[in-house]
Structures are given as structure tokens and as C-alpha cells.
Amino acid sequence: MARGRIHEVSRCRRYMVDLSTAMAAAGAERGKRQKGDKDKRGKSGRKHGLEPFDPQKYVAKEKADTASMWLVLFFALLIGSITRFIFMPNLDGSGGNDLLWVAPLAMIILIPSLHRHIMPQSFVEHYTKGTWFKAGFLYTFAWLAVTFLLSNPPFGDIGSPEPSAGWTIILEDGSDWYMPQDNLTSKNTIFWEATDGNDDQFLAGEAWLLFAIADNADPNDANFKVSISKDGENSTELNISESEWDRMMAGRVSATEASANSSIESHDVVLVDNDADRPIAINLGEDLEVGIYSISFEVTEQGEPWVNTNSWTWKLIITEQEA
């Protein structure tokens, strides 16, 4: 009996030792975790690869970036003004003026030096390669905006006069009016089948060319030189008859109504795209024979800062009647 009790007491002590060991181990593990959490909470952002936030440094950098922005904008305005008022008046605007964009864009390389010479050292120390990259983009688009603004009305005019919309030809034969059939092969050519004649067919009546001129400024300041040639032969200069425009428009309405009552579809296009455009009527001649007629235009105007020019050619092809 005594021996059995001693054995049970021994077993109880062993269990108590094991329980005490387990509790001690758990306490040690808990202490390590708490210490680890404390260490993590105590670590700064620098130990995690992050810079600590410095309000004063942040404000100083923002001030430096703002000053850089205004400096770049002023630089773009200066270069744009020099381009417009010094370079452009000394060029003729006929093309090949690469200097007008190559030289201003080359000024980008001066941006870092400009900052170092003008800005205080307290600002310069905040500038990096990223600053020059952003400044280059800002300068490019600011210079383009300034140049575009100064090259168009009311500060300038470098746009040449051009046709406002489409063009057409109307035929006046006594009290009758006709328009070409809508069988255009391109926007620069009108085909018309001869209306009279047996062996020598021709287009009976007076042919009038109708269109309008658009311009950045006043299209009435444009000067025209219009000529017509048949089958590549010697050209004949034509006169502009702007006073005939209203009568031609009335005739065009009559021709359109006549075609609407027939099976023939007429060539009806928009001629004037804006009320400020200049309407033009030109008499091409009477009883035009079968052939290819080239109508050439040369338009000039005194723009700002140079003379603006434009030229184009339209064709009227009169074909023989189908048998």
C-alpha cells in the first residue's frame, strides 16, 4: 500500500513539473512576441525604406517647383515672342523655314542652366532630373500655345485664303439654267456632256464658275489671278464678277428645281460655309467646245508678318454626246 501511494505521488509531481515547464515556455513565447511587436512599433519609416515626412522640406520643395513653373512659362513666352516678332518678319513664309521651330525647341537645353543662374540655391537643391524632364514638356507646349496665339488674328495672319467649301458650274442659256449632272470623279473635276451641235459639239450658253473664299482675316483683301486653258493650250485670264453672285444663285435655284422635276440628278453642293466668306462668280465663256478646261487660281494677300499665297486648279471636262 505504501509503495503504491509513493508511486502515485511521484506521478503527480511529474505531471506538475511538466505543467510548470509548459506554462514557463508559453510565458517565454508570449514575452518574445510582445517584444517583437514593441520593436516593430518602435521602428521608423527609414528602417522600412521610407523617408520620414518633413513638413518644412515638403513646403520648400513645393515653393521651388512653383517657382520653376513660372520661370519656364516666362521663358516660353519670351522665346515665342522673339519667334513671332523678330524671326518671322525676316522670313518670307514660302516654306522651308525650319528655323522657326528648330531654334525654339533647341532652347530646352538651356532650362537647367537658367534655373541655376536665376533661382536661389535654396530652390536649386530641390531640383532633379525629373524636374528638367517636366520643365521640358511644359516649355514645349507653352511655346506652341504662345506661337499659335501670336500667329493668328488679331496678333497675326499667316493663313492663306482658300475655298470655303465646294464649287460648281452653272450654265445660262437665255432664260434657261442648267447644272452639271452629279457624276464627279473627284472634288477637283466636273464632267459635263455637250448639249448642242452635230460635228462640233459644244456646251450651249454661258458657263459660270461659282465658289466662295474663306480666310482667317478679311477675305475681301485677297487678290485673284484666274486663268483658263483648253487642252493645255495658251491660257486666257478671266475676270471676277462678284456682282453677279445673287443672279447666279437665283439661276441655280431654277436649275435645281428643273432637275427635281426630271430624271436627271444635278450637281448640288454647299458653296458658302460661313457668312463671312467671300462669294465669287467667274464667267468661263460662251458655247464652250468639247475638251478639257483647266481653271487655275493664284491668290495673294498681305498677311502679318508676310504675304500669304495659295494656288489650285479645277477642271471642267466637256464630253461628246453619247450616240
CA 255 to chain centre: 40
What is the pLDDT, as a whole number, of residue 28? 67
272 sits in which H/E element: none
Tally DSSP H helices, then E strands, for the chain.
Answer: 7, 10
Residues of the chain with pLDDT > 70, as a percent, come to 78
User: What are the C-alpha distances in Å from 279 to residues 71, 77, 162?
Assistant: 48, 39, 12
Residue extents of the structural domains in the chain: 55-150, 162-319
With a cut of 70, list the residues of the chain below it in pLDDT: 1-23, 25-28, 31-51, 94-96, 182-186, 197-199, 259-268, 323
Please give the pLDDT value at position 266.
58
Distance between start and end Cα atoms, the chain: 144
Average pLDDT taken over every residue of the chain? 84
pLDDT value of residue 249: 92
Q: What is the pLDDT of residue 200?
A: 78
Residues 282, 238: Cα–Cα separation, whole Å: 7
Instruction: Count how many Cα atoms sit within 13 Å of the Cα of residue 99 in the half-sphere of its side chain.
Output: 12
Residue 192 CA to residue 205 CA, distance in Å, equals 13
Is 162-319 a domain of CATH 2.60.120? no
Condensed to tens digits (0 to 9), the pLDDT of residues 282-303 reads 999 999 999 999 999 999 999 9
Catalogue the long-range contacts made by 226-231 (C-beta closer than 8 Å, 24 or more residues apart).
Answer: 226/282, 226/295, 226/296, 226/297, 226/298, 227/295, 227/296, 228/284, 228/285, 228/293, 228/294, 228/295, 228/296, 229/293, 229/294, 229/296, 230/289, 230/291, 230/292, 230/293, 231/291, 231/292
